[in-house]
A and B are shown apart, each in its own frame.
Chain A
């Protein structure tokens, strides 16, 4: 619909010069490509803006929680701080350590960032508003988030540094462990919705009772598991053992400087926003309104995502870092048995008449 409107506008514009037929002759063969690229930009640019301002929000929120003010020098309320930070990192020299594997060292930040962006291809923002409405959307997301680990491992190995390598090894073990619990939590969601299409999953949570129809009610333990595993997957505090600045300096990105470091940072925050979107879509009804008398809208999705992002920041301000053996215990001995049991519970529950979702 929007596509037709935009085409109509171009037609009106070029018709002013009488050139529309000529232009369309050139554009028509590549129009689907152009339109897809335009949609990609419409997702990526706001996302990068959100990433930039999430860093400011993090510093402000944690500042207020710790009774400080946070950044307030650059622009009003420090609103230009992310731009100043970006500029600073952009102008810094990228130092490639001697004895490192140069190609892998340079490509590692890209390998961390690319899956964090690629996963957005299937995320629906509102009814019918997704770049690709894929049937196996949930599986695609799981795959893309599991690929992000390569950036971290390669960065740690290619740096030729013990600290970086230790950080990479910790991170690899952590992400692989939590992915299993995360996968089983998603299995519960797709059992409840009987679809792997993200738009269908949101539609499955539509009902006359508003928020009571959301999957967070029957799948509450899975919601908790998914959220906590999400924090662990993104290497956020209190699970930021991969960085662990009190033990291994800064973990996998200790040798990185300037823009290469910034790209790791962008990847971490883009992943955080992705997990927040997914939690909202899978468990909190996506763009559906929590009360029946208000219309469904993208605004609801933004509100839910903001709340979950606030939780991420809140965790960081509140909890001390986990010890590594405790982290592994939580993943393998608590979350995985819990999720397996809940899969069986949901499977039995769905066969009874008590299942109303």
Chain B
């Protein structure tokens, strides 16, 4: 067993452990943090495959942005754990069937002859850039699928915003551009007035 294999099994064990903890952790925030650990470990496995662009992008997009927002939401929610655990036994057969189906699919795909034969991890020279290679493929051979995927994502994003955006009539907001564009003359009025004559003694003694 060489060093790379040891590292692979270490990451794999870490992924399995953290994935199990995601569903068994009592606290939802802990569960999200275990999911982060699972993402980072799978990025490690991708690094072992010399797919450094995918690995770094996984950490950048999922860990650095998506999971931050996830954590953000989970921290703000008031989750009732007792209610979540209700009906565990009732739904167990359904969940087990689903899990079994997924496991079967994965074994079928990974064990089939189409995917198992001829796949040999090729070692590349030190100057090989995974990023450049990926960019070249995406923007030449796969440009149409790539653009279609991008458009679908854009549509989904706009649709999500359009569905959830509600303009409330009673909402108060500040118009920053108006605030920035304010002039001295808008706020301050200088009036020309005669200077008052000083009266000797206390103001209450004035007789006029």
Contact = CB atoms under 8 A, between A and B. Distances in A.
Nearest to B29: A157
A149 B64 contact: yes
Interface in B55-71: 56-57, 59-60, 63-65, 68-69, 71
A147 B72 contact: no
Interface in B163-181: 173-174, 176
Nearest to A194: B132
Contact of B60 (A104, A142, A157, A169): A142
Interface string A135-151: 11001101100110110
B14 interface: no
Contacts of A325: 173-174, 176
A51 B131 CA distance: 34
Interface stretch (A1-9, A171-179, A261-269): A171-179
A173 B72 contact: yes
Contacts of B130: 135-136
A326 interface: yes
B72 A179 contact: no
The listed residue with most A CB atoms (<10 A of its CB), out of B53, B57, B63, B131, is B131
Interface residues of B, number: 26
Contacts of B76: 169
A179 B65 contact: yes
A165 interface: yes
A101 B29 CA distance: 11
Contacts of A135: 52, 129-131
Nearest to B177: A329
Nearest to B180: A326
B68 A176 contact: yes
Interface of A: 101, 104, 134-136, 139-140, 142-143, 146-147, 149-150, 153-154, 157, 165, 168-169, 172-173, 175-176, 179, 196, 325-326, 329
Interface of B: 27, 29-30, 33, 36, 52-53, 56-57, 59-60, 63-65, 68-69, 71-72, 75-76, 129-131, 173-174, 176
For the complex of A and B, the 9 pairs showing the least CB-CB separation, nearest first, are A146-B64, A143-B60, A139-B56, A135-B129, A143-B59, A329-B176, A143-B56, A172-B72, A157-B75
